[in-house]
């Protein structure tokens, strides 16, 4: 699994996805407002799925509040998500402005894991 993670996302951040705790956790509606200090860091976002696009470069999951999560090509079932599903996503915060939040790379997260969001 770790080898696939490194191959799917390249070296660097792809290898870090399975390790360490996120620097911060957010509800989707709070990321653009409070997330800027965490650009380049691994975060968790809880949000509602708006749409899923299965592309050659991976699955692109769009959450409410203009959050774009790019899952690597070696996805693990994100294509089974439906509009309205509430999910938890871990990913590296690449962009964080009102209307343009992006997590890359991103992975689904266990909803039973600890979640203490910044408000």
Q: Which domains does the chain have, with CATH numbers?
A: 20-108 (2.40.50.140)
Distance from chain centroid for Cα 106: 4
**Mean pLDDT per 10-residue section of the chain, whose length is 119 residues:** 40 55 96 97 97 88 96 72 94 96 93 91
Question: 28 with 103: CB under 8 angstroms?
Answer: no
Which pTM was predicted? 0.83
Give which of 78, 55, 58 is closest to 7, Cα–Cα.
58
Q: How far is the CA of 51 from the CAs of 17, 21, 42, 83, 115, in angstroms?
A: 23, 27, 23, 6, 23
**What's the pLDDT score for residue 38?**
98
**What's the pLDDT score for residue 18?**
58
**What's the pLDDT score for residue 46?**
98
- The pair of structure tokens assigned to 93 is 């915060």
Q: Looking at the chain, list the stretches that DSSP marks H as alpha helix, in order from N- to C-terminal side.
A: 2-9, 13-16, 31-34
Give which of 90, 103, 108 is closest to 21, Cα–Cα.
90
């Amino acid at each position: 699994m770790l080898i696939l993670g490194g191959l799917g996302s390249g070296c660097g951040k792809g290898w870090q996805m399975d390790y360490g705790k996120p620097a911060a956790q957010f509800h989707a509606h709070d990321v653009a407002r409070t997330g800027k200090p965490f650009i380049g860091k691994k975060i968790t976002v809880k949000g509602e799925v708006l749409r899923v696009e299965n592309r050659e470069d991976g699955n692109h999951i769009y959450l409410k509040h203009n959050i774009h999560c790019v899952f690597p090509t070696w996805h693990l079932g994100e294509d089974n998500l439906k509009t309205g599903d509430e999910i938890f996503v871990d990913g590296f915060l690449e962009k964080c402005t009102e209307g343009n939040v992006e997590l890359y790379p991103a992975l689904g997260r266990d909803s039973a894991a600890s979640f203490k969001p910044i408000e």
